[in-house]
Amino acid sequence: MGKEIERKFLLKNDSWRQLGEGVLYRQGYIPTQGVTVRVRVAGNQGYLTIKGKTVNYSRAEFEYPIPLADAQEMLDTLCVRPLIEKTRYKINYNGLVWEVDEFAGENQGLILAEVELTDAAQEIEIPDWIGEEVSGDRRYYNSYLVQQPYSKW
């Protein structure tokens, strides 16, 4: 079984911008109950991801590459609106990869950083451009941002 253990943070400054190059992401969510089903296009690759409920920063996660055309069709016909549009920057820092998401569309203005861990209790060194932790705040889940976009907060 796949498992995702991650923590999310707001950013306190723009000094991260020179540390990585961005890739455009477009993703949507297929309506379900109890699990999250996400369709994503990252660059030129499609993905289908199924995630369980989050408990202590951790949840079951299953992600599979799918043909780009299938992902585009699913985004256009099956997913709730608005779609999540963002540019993701991957930044290596002290042995971990931090993913900084700069949102566009109805979530423009929101920038989040997340880091995936091997254990929920893993200690991490926080970069100086990281601000408040929002790991437990569901408003910052991408699946929530579809229902309540940042521009409407």
Return phi, psi of residue 85, to 5°: -120, 130
Which of 29, 57, 89, 140 is catalytic? The answer is 29
Residues 6+ apart with CB under 8 A from 74: 28, 30, 39, 48
What are the counts of helices (DSSP H) followed by strands (DSSP E) for the chain?
A: 2, 9
**Chain-centre distance for alpha carbon 70:** 21
| Active site (annotated) includes residue 150 | no
Buried b / exposed e along 75-104 (16+ C-beta atoms within 10 A): beeebeeebbbbebbebebeeeebbbbbbe
Q: How far is CA 36 from CA 12, 22, 53, 108, 135, in A?
A: 29, 25, 8, 23, 17
Catalytically active residues are 29
